[in-house]
Every structure is written in C-alpha cells, then in structure tokens.
Amino acid sequence: MTWRGARILSTGTAWDGALELTVQTDPVDSDVPGAGPQHTQSTLRALAYPALVGPTTVGDHVLLNTTALDRGLGTGGYALVVAVLPRDGQPVAASPRTDGPGHLVKARYTPHQTMVLGVDEQESPHHSTLQDADDLGGMPVVVADLHSALPAIVAGARHHAQTHGRRTPRIVYVMTDGGALPAWFSRTVARLRDTGWTAATITVGQAYGGDHEAVTVHTGLLAAHHVLDADLAVVTQGPGNLGTGTRWGFSGVAAGEAVNAAATLGGRPVASLRVSGADARERHQGISHHSLTAYGRVALLPADVPVPRLDQVADRFDAAGHDPLALDARIQQQAPRLAAGPARHTLVEAPATPDLADALALSPVRLSTMGRGLDQDPAAFLAAAVAGQHAASLLT
C-alpha cells in the first residue's frame, strides 16, 4: 500500500458524496531505499468522500492512498484521500458521524469501515415492512455485468414507455460490491438520480453510499419493491470491473447470482448481455465470455435474455470501424448456448431500431464502456438498451 502526504491546492467539481481536488504531494527523499520516480513531488488529481473524511479546504494537509494510481489501475486517475491530517498542534478532528441509528458496518475490518443504517435492520423504519417480505410480485429485474450498462438500460426502458404511451417507469438501481464500494465514486449514479432517470440507489453487500443500504442483493431488491415502489430494478456492480483473463476470475460472475436472487424472490429476471464489436480481445467479441459464463453456468434459474439484432442500425456503426452484420451473425451464433444451459433461459429477439439508437444519444450521462463511447462501440450500449426496453415491456 502506497501512502503520500499532500497539500490541497484547489477544489474542483463536486457531485453527490464526492469532491475533486488538486493536490501537491510532499517531497520524499529520493535516496530513501525503494523510492522511485513515483515518489518525487508532483501535482495530482485526488478524490475525497466528505462523509468519510470530513470537510476539506485549500491548504489542508491530507493523507493519500496512491496504490492503484501508481500502478495505472482503475481509480479514474485519482489518488484517494484517506484522512485530513491535523494542523500543527491541533488535535485530530472528530469523524463526521459520531452517533446515530444503524449498526451495519460496510467495508468491514478495513481502515475505512463505515457504519450505516440498513433499510433491513432493526433500527430502520422499514424493518417491519421487510421482516417477512419474500416476494417481488413479478417486478422486472435487469441484471448486467458492467456499471456502464446502467444508463443504457434506463434509456431503453424509458424509450419503450414513451413510444408506447405509457407512464415512465420508476427505476431503482441496486449496486453490488464487485467494483467500487462507494456509490459516491459514480458520477453516473448521481446524474441519473438528479435528472429523475432513476428514483434511488440501494447499495448492497460491502458497497455503501446509496440512498438506502442493504445487507444482500435479496433485501436490496425487496426494498426496491416494497419500500421504494419501483416498477423495475437494475442490478450491476459499481464502477470498475476486476478481471484476470480466466474463465471464472472476474467480478461479473455475480451477475449470475443476481439472476438467481431475482428469480427466487418471484421477480422477472432479464439478463442484459455484455456485447462488443470493438474489443480487441477474442473472449469479449460478440457476446462476452463474462455473459456466457455468468448467465450460462452460474445462473441456475431462468431469465429472459434479449438478444440484439443490429441490421436496422447498421449505419450507426460507420465510425466504429467494424462490420455490424458480421457482429450480428456472431451474436446469433453464440446466443443459443444460453438457452441450452442449466437455467434454460428464454432468448428474446430484440431488434435495435434507429429511434432506440437516437434515445441512447440523449442520455444525460456520457456513455462509455472500457474507454469506448457510443460511436466507438455502439453494440455495447444497444445490447443494454434492448434489455431495458424488454423489461419495460413486461410492465402491465
């Protein structure tokens, strides 16, 4: 673990739960054994979560965790603020929260473990509602591997409602802990809620920082239905995705478990396929092996699997540099494996239409997956959008 001291030079953009900072790191003697180029004094972008570390101002001395940043890993180019250090002669400041209801500890047994009020725990005003709750009443639940699928799924669901003269569905996001643990890291989450595209976020497992907290995906889904009156829910991990290039070593395996949870509770699981025409890695071309593994082998209960057809939107691939019809053929060849697996999923032909592609372009957040936008990898977002569209079609 790599620690650096730094001074805050300026504050930048803030969104729900997060604040960008520009900091200058403290100088470190280059003669110290093990000190490398990354230990020279430098100016960095940093991110603070005020609910964890308290308020920060220009001139404050802060402790940073630069471990992932130094390795070029997925923290969005940020060093992360661990603590605001006391000024000379001053006592350590009290934490932002010193008391209050709730005994749910998340990020447990780490230096940043945080105590929250769980929607499902005894001190919650919703405990009696959830105590014996056991059924989602057929609520559609869209499950996806990557966080980047979230806005496209929501766009598809809203588009279906608008084009069919229906009420815009009330959508709740259930964020699992396979990627970022703090929901505050995601500008997408904040923006979707601020624009009314989602009604609320429930963080489950070790994830935290949502509008509501829950212990498991199961209670998160039950809270979405019974507490927040969701018409449909979307389940994905937070920003970031851990993969190892092995069949089983990726955080998206949990998507299959989420399908099981939704089906066990009487929901209507809809499996959103991870699709790409631009990924250079063979295992992610067409339908990603992540989807084929999570839905084809981990999910043991059936889901609807919308399979995108791309022939109507071939012109949207002009900037992408790959053949949409060849990609479509690959997808159609791969998809039957999901219907033949142990869960016997139902494949749903889902044509991607020009008006759906237009709806994606109107997203209030920038669409990006693995560093590629809508123009570079349109199939990734169209596959997610048809899943949202199908889920909305299940609403009566």
pLDDT tens-digit readout, 246-265: 888 899 899 999 999 999 99
Query: Is residue 77 domain-shared with residue 131, that is, in the same domain?
Result: no
Q: How confident is the model at residue 280 (pLDDT cuts 50, 70, 90)?
A: confident
Closest to 269 (Cα-Cα) out of 311, 226, 291, 301: 301
- The neighbouring-strand residues paired with 62 are 6, 84
Checking if the pLDDT of 76 tops 80, the result is no
Number of residues assigned to the chain? 396
- Write the burial class of residue 74 (CB in 10 Å: 0-12 exposed, 13-18 middle, 19+ buried): middle
Among 17, 50, 84, give the residue marking a domain's end: 84
Q: How distant, in Å, are the alpha carbons of 54, 108, 322 from that of 366?
A: 29, 33, 22
pLDDT per residue as tens digits for the range 359-382:
999 999 999 998 899 999 999 999
Query: Is residue 76 domain-shared with residue 169, that is, in the same domain?
Result: no
Say how far apart CA 34 and CA 92 lie, in whole Å: 30
Query: For the chain, what percent of residues have pLDDT higher than 90?
Result: 78
Query: Is residue 139 domain-shared with residue 238, that is, in the same domain?
Result: yes
Q: How confident is the model at residue 93 (pLDDT cuts 50, 70, 90)?
A: low
Q: Which domain holds residue 66?
A: 3-84
Checking if the pLDDT of 186 tops 60, the result is yes
Say how far apart CA 25 and CA 20 lie, in whole Å: 15
Give domain status of residue 359, yes or no: yes
For residue 215, what pLDDT is reported?
Answer: 97
Checking if the pLDDT of 277 tops 70, the result is yes
For 348, phi then psi, to 5°, come to: -120, 115
Q: What is the mean pLDDT of the chain?
A: 92
Identify whether the C-beta of residue 302 lies closer than 8 Å to the C-beta of residue 345.
Answer: yes
CB atoms within 10 A of CB 156: 30
Query: Is residue 371 domain-shared with residue 231, that is, in the same domain?
Result: yes
Give domain status of residue 57, yes or no: yes
For residue 94, what pLDDT is reported?
Answer: 61
pLDDT per residue as tens digits for the range 208-220:
999 999 999 999 9
For residue 99, what pLDDT is reported?
Answer: 63
Identify whether the C-beta of residue 238 lies closer than 8 Å to the C-beta of residue 180.
Answer: yes
DSSP 206: T
Q: How distant, in Å, are the alpha carbons of 56, 87, 301 from that of 59?
A: 9, 10, 55
* Number of domains making up the chain: 2
For residue 34, what pLDDT is reported?
Answer: 44
What's the pTM? 0.92
Among 62, 84, 106, give the residue marking a domain's end: 84
For residue 35, what pLDDT is reported?
Answer: 46
Checking if the pLDDT of 91 tops 80, the result is no
Query: Is residue 80 domain-shared with residue 140, that is, in the same domain?
Result: no
pLDDT per residue as tens digits for the range 114-161:
899 999 999 999 999 999 999 999 999 999 999 999 999 999 999 999
Residues 6+ apart with CB under 8 A from 49: 17, 18, 19, 81, 182, 184, 209
pLDDT per residue as tens digits for the range 25-36:
998 754 444 444
Checking if the pLDDT of 59 tops 70, the result is yes
Checking if the pLDDT of 39 tops 60, the result is no
Query: Is residue 53 domain-shared with residue 134, that is, in the same domain?
Result: no
How large is the C-alpha radius of gyration of the chain? 22
For residue 37, what pLDDT is reported?
Answer: 52
Checking if the pLDDT of 73 tops 90, the result is no
Say how far apart CA 128 and CA 125 lie, in whole Å: 7
* 168-202 residues labelled b (16+ CB within 10 A) or e (exposed): ebbbbbbbbbbbbbbbbbbbbbbbbbeeebbbbbb
